[in-house]
Structure 1
Amino acid sequence: MKRRSLVLPVAAGLLAPLLAACGGSDGASGSGDVIVVGTTDQFTATADSPAPFDPAFAYDTGAWNVLRQSLQTLMHIPRGGGAPVPEAASNCRFSDNQNESYRCELRQGLKFAGGAEITSQDVKFSIQRVIDINSEAGAVGLLKNIDTIETPSDSEVIFHLKTPDATFPYKLSTPVTGIVDPASYDGRKLRDGFDVNGSGPYHVTSEVDGDRVVKAVFTKNTSYKGDLKLRNDKVELRSYPDAAAMGKALDSGEIDLMARTMSPGQIEEMSAEPKAGVELTEMPGLEIRYLAFDTDEPVVKDKAVRQAVASLVDRGQIASEVYGSTAEPLYSLIPATITSHTNSFFNKYGEPDRAEAARLLEDAGVDTPVKFTLNYTTDHYGEATAKEFETLQRQLNAGGLFDVDIKGTEWSKFRPAQTRGDYTVYGMGWFPDFPDPDNYIAPFLDEDNFLNAPYVNKQVSGHLIPQSRSEAERSAAAKDFARIQDIVAEDVPVLPLWQGKQYVAAADDISGVEWALNPSGELLVWELGTGSAV
């Protein structure tokens, strides 16, 4: 594979959803040569995070983008987006008018890597296992509406749901429902380490340094039976400590594609001064960033405190000064590019207003300055996260109403601490599990939510979310989502900050780049190759 020269600045890095870098020191694509992808995602096994690649535990973009290549799901989102289509299944459908019973027929000839044939009992085992393990760190919340799983034959599986859920086909396209080999996975406990055994388009092996993966190698599964068309035989995903190191790897020819997480500086320089042999591709993005509050903690339990924070945060300054063209202010949990978005926070709070923040605190009898720590992760979303939180700190402290400290922690420790409830206020990012407004609402506000947050609003979790899921025509749920967004703006259990764009930088002999990352941040390495894309 030919190599190109690119000089990138050492810049603080952010955003970009998880991207794949591609390229190969030996060549590319369907010819059998390797395509090498760079990422700043870190895959680490620790006491708090022992099973990074177990679908019952994994719930971050980086880990899911490893599992997508190695585990099959019954459904998948097709190239270009739209409603899910069968993958390991040959067909799936709701078998009732209430969207409470979902039936799938498996493809013929499905096999695990060890050669064992896949049956509906294996599908039931894989999904029931996630429910039974019930890991707080995982995505089990997506499956909590399953009542029972029936396997009337070796090729047929039926999911009986507790309540109607038109989004269920989307949930069956996520790695938490990946089909795993029962010979390699215990039905009642997590599988520690980095091994993955499934029937996906690739076999994956990990090169490990201590407790950390430095390289994940995806080799074409010649026994794969499914809907995906592979354009290469082998892809390597190499992990780098930061955007600058990843940029140097592209410059030296060590990788052919980088994205997650490119720095704002890299993106701006490459946009202003294109480099020969390297193409920068901008793609639609559905990533959001937000602050979350432990509403049981005394310092922020009074919603007036959270409302005052909402009155002071200047999203425009964060977007322009920290992230430049890679981010836009966000005034709702649902991003502007998703149907049902409203500017609920702007409608309630308008532009930053110290006087309004002071009034809210005074009316509630809250003593000032209010003291707490803003916690963020140092290595999961890019280096620019630190600058973002320094900016937030200045914004909150400027008027004397708050006395805020900031503290950064590496992701392998941050996420377990956040799940335990160790943080009063903290920053997180979100790529949707699937592109529906429900997935920007339920993970934060439903029972057994992703954040393990104490905030409960019975109207939201008990009525509005179930009502929205009963609408097979998703636009019909817009009224419910609008009401939810207004409630979030009033109670502020979470505070949306910005919405990001996606960028990929790749050598110009790499094809399929425009398909390799979809708007949900899903890495699809089978789309990468050399030569013309099809």
Structure 2
Amino acid sequence: MKGRRRLGAVLAILLLVLLALIGTTCGVGAWLFSRYNGRLPGSNGTPEITVHHGGELHLFGQPPVTLDPALVEDSYSAAYVVEIFSGLVTLDRNLNVVPDLAERWDVSPDGRTYTFYLRPNTTFQDGKPVTAADFKYSLERACSPALASPAARSYLGDIVGAIDMIEGRASSISGVRVLDDHRLSITIDAPKAYFLAKLTYSTAFVVDRTNVESGANWTEHPNGTGPFRLSQHNDQQIVLEPNTHYYGTGPSLDRVTFLFSGGSPVDMYENGQLDIAYVGLDDIDRVQDPTNMLSHDLTVAPQLDVQYLAMNVNEPPFDDIKVRRAFAEAIDREKLAKVVLKDTGVAATGILPPGMPGYNTALQGLPFDPEQARKLLQESRYKDAAHLPQVVLDIAGESDAAPPTIEAIVAMLHDNLGVNVRVEQMPWDQFLTALDQRQFTLFSSGWIADYPDPQDFIDILFDSQSHDNQTGYRNPQVDQLLQQARVEQNRDARLRLYQQAEAMIVQDAPWIPLWHSRDYVLVKPYVKGAVFSAAVRPWLKDVSVDR
């Protein structure tokens, strides 16, 4: 999932703790940090948390690009959608795939057909029962050419007939069948270990047809099935309140308010306006000072993400691999992570973040080597920086100045390679649209795990046919490895295939992996039961406040 971190501002989703899973459906494994009274549990386990019902939680947020589950492609929007809507399966706090609206499922002997059994008591927020036909409608709506979902191909494309519908060759998904009101059959094109995990993405969430067809602005009053309902949505805030028809144990909170403005999140936290706050670079030093009371509320959590520069390999000058590698070797990622980011990031050598299954500690990334970078540029068909076309770096943003990381990268490319880079900014929603249309030659972005499987990074972002491959990268050997990995049932063999593909991609350099993030987060001692994950999942229903 596309993610953006604006240093000095809050990340809307507040996904705070790294998990890498052990023994899940995807065969992966995990770290789990629990937040309790501002302290991490010791080795003897997580302390039992007493739930206190009621209260309001205040968070800093960002306005969503969309609240339509089928159209979500960014982490800002997903933060709200996963609380308001739900699907057949979900991720638990350990990032295991677990039942959600489906109480169980069977898998055919050939591993291709899943039969889901819906919970008999599941309803929409207005009390109307959810049926298998509602899921079929929702999946087919997500794949309809008229809706043009930017995410449907990546997350639903394994279902037989989904691509035919997306491309307008069919009016329904042949692999989705309603067996009765409470049984849904989904057939995929081959047995794939990660398929269930893909169904945790919002393109597979159920929506109410009557609600959707009530008008273009239906997401202003969505009739979802998640633990919360949308109470308010305006330019200043989003307010969520409990869904009284939620099938499971309902939220403990009376209300969750996401504020879109109000000043520095840390200042708002100190003034009592926020209960949880992401710490930006300007405040990192003081919140880590042991003499500052804020240090007692601080949690530091690595993320399953990667921040990167990407180059369109079909456009000059990045259609020359020597230019791409020259740019990569001119950037000091260790300096970015340690100095510019003040250790809030870990320098990236590859694509997969630490903690992700398949993360390769032995991966040899492209080194920081200014001399070699200049040599590579001389060996390219451009010969030197003077003969390069104007290089424009596109980023999401609307501020007067570029973020410090971007300023540092521009300076490194100038000092180490002699390249003058012009930075252009655009609003986040416009940036996403331009990204989907492959309008950029060089851009900066990030990717946050949707689920803990390397397929979510290596395949979705670099397969030559993937919608989310925004660089135009194509390597037949990589494609072949990815095709093998999709159907490989042996976990270790599958991870090795992804590692081989990653090593080739790093050397081809369509991306320059920059860093993997660490979140620094302040949490008030009276906030109980908050366990934050490194992938998007519904977490607010488990939180309570005890003032």
Query: What TM-score bracket applies, with the shorter chain setting the length?
Result: 0.7 to 0.9
Residues 19-418 of structure 1 aligned to structure 2 (within 5 Å): 19=14, 30-39=52-61, 41-43=62-64, 52-81=66-95, 83-97=96-110, 99-133=111-145, 135=148, 137-147=150-160, 148-186=175-213, 194-209=220-235, 214-226=236-248, 230-240=251-261, 244-259=263-278, 262-273=279-290, 274-275=292-293, 279-342=297-360, 347-350=364-367, 352-369=368-385, 370=388, 371-378=390-397, 386-418=403-435
Q: Tell me what 2:525 maps to.
A: 508
Please identify, of 484-493 and 404-413, the stretch whose mean Cα deviation from structure 2 is larger. Answer: 404-413
Could you give the per-residue CA deviations for residues 323-358 of structure 1, whole angstroms, max 9, x where no partner exists?
A: 1121000111111221212267x72533x2122122
* Cα-to-partner distance string for 1:419-445 (whole Å, 9 max, x where unaligned): 222211000011111111111112211
1:499 CA displacement: 0.3
- Normalization by structure 2: what TM-score? 0.83
Q: Which moved more, 1:156-165 or 1:267-276?
A: 267-276
- Partner of residue 526, structure 1: 541
In the TM superposition, residue 312 of structure 1 has moved relative to its aligned partner by 1.1
Distance in structure 2 (CA, Å) of the matches to 1:399 and 1:267: 29
CA distance in 1, matches of 2:359, 2:447: 16
Equivalent residue, structure 2, for 1:48: none
Q: Deviations along 1:186-240, whole A, 9 cap, x unmatched?
A: 59x976754432111111133313xxxx2222111111114x6533232122223
Query: What's the counterpart of residue 25 of structure 1?
Result: none
Q: Quick one: which amino acid aligns to residue 202 of structure 1?
A: F
SS of the residue 2:233 aligns to: strand
Could you say if the C-alpha distance between residues 141 and 271 of structure 1 is closer, same or farther in structure 2, counting changes exceeding 3 Å?
same
Q: In the aligned structure 2, how far is the partner of 1:432 from the partner of 1:384?
A: 29
Identity among equivalent positions (%) equals 22
2-side partners of 1:95 and 1:265: how far apart?
A: 54
Equivalent-residue separation in structure 2 for 1:445 and 1:437 (angstroms): 12
Alpha-carbon distance in structure 2 between the residues aligned to 1:140 and 1:186 = 23
Give the C-alpha shift of residue 512 in structure 1.
Answer: 1.9
Query: Does the CA-based 8 Å contact 2:351-2:502 persist in structure 1?
Result: yes
2:371 counterpart letter in structure 1: A
TM-score, L = length of structure 1 = 0.85
For 1:169 and 1:305, the matched residues in 2 are separated by 40
The answer to whether the Cα contact below 8 Å between 2:253 and 2:544 also exists between their aligned partners in 1 is yes
Range that drifts further, 389-398 or 466-475: 466-475
The 1:501/1:229 distance shift into structure 2, 3 A limit, reads farther
Q: Which residue of 2 aligns with 1:459?
A: 477
Q: Cα–Cα, structure 1 residues 383 and 32, in superposed 2: closer, same or farther, change >3 Å? A: farther
Shift of 1:281: 1.5
Of 483, 491, 501, the residue aligned with 1:484 is: 501
- Whole-Å Cα distance in 2 between the matches of residues 322 and 17 of structure 1? 22
- Verify the 8 A CA contact 1:232 1:526 in the aligned structure 2: yes
Distance 1:153 1:335 in 2: 42
Q: Secondary structure at the match of 1:126?
A: helix
- The residue that corresponds to 1:5 in the other structure is none
Q: Which deviations, in whole Å up to 9, do the C-alpha atoms of 1:297-341 show, x marking residues without a partner?
A: 122111111111111111011111221121000111111221212
Q: Which runs of 5+ in 1 are unaligned?
A: 1-10, 23-27, 45-51
CA distance in 2, matches of 1:130, 1:425: 30
Q: Does 1:430 align with 2:447?
A: yes
Q: 1:37 to 1:184 in 2, by over 3 A?
A: same
Deviation at 1:29, TM superposition (A): 7.9
Question: CA offset at residue 20 of structure 1?
Answer: 7.3
Q: 1:435 to 1:229 in 2, by over 3 A?
A: farther
**Is the contact between residue 374 and residue 389 of structure 1 (CA under 8 Å) also seen in structure 2?**
no
- State how far apart, in whole Å, the 1-side matches of 2:57 and 2:522 are: 14
> CA offsets, 1:226-264, max 9 Å, x none?
4x65332321222237xx5322322222221122xx302
| Distance across 1 between alignment mates of 2:10 and 2:490 | 33
User: Matches of 1:12 and 1:448 in 2, distance apart?
Assistant: 30
> Would you say how many aligned residue pairs link Structure 1 and Structure 2?
490
In the alignment, the residues of structure 2 paired with residue 451 and residue 192 of structure 1 have an alpha-carbon distance, to the nearest angstrom, of 31
> RMSD of the TM alignment (CA)?
2.9
The match for 2:3 is: none
Alignment-mate amino acid for residue 249 of structure 1 = M
Give the letter aligned to residue 197 of structure 2: Y
C-alpha separation between the residues in 2 aligned to 1:137 and 1:288?
21
Are the equivalent residues in 2 in contact too, given 1:72–1:178 (CA < 8 A)? yes
Partners in 2 of 1:143 and 1:16 — Cα distance?
27
Change in 2 beyond 3 A, CA 1:276/1:424: closer
Shift of 1:109: 1.3
Task: Give the partner amino acid of 2:379.
Answer: D
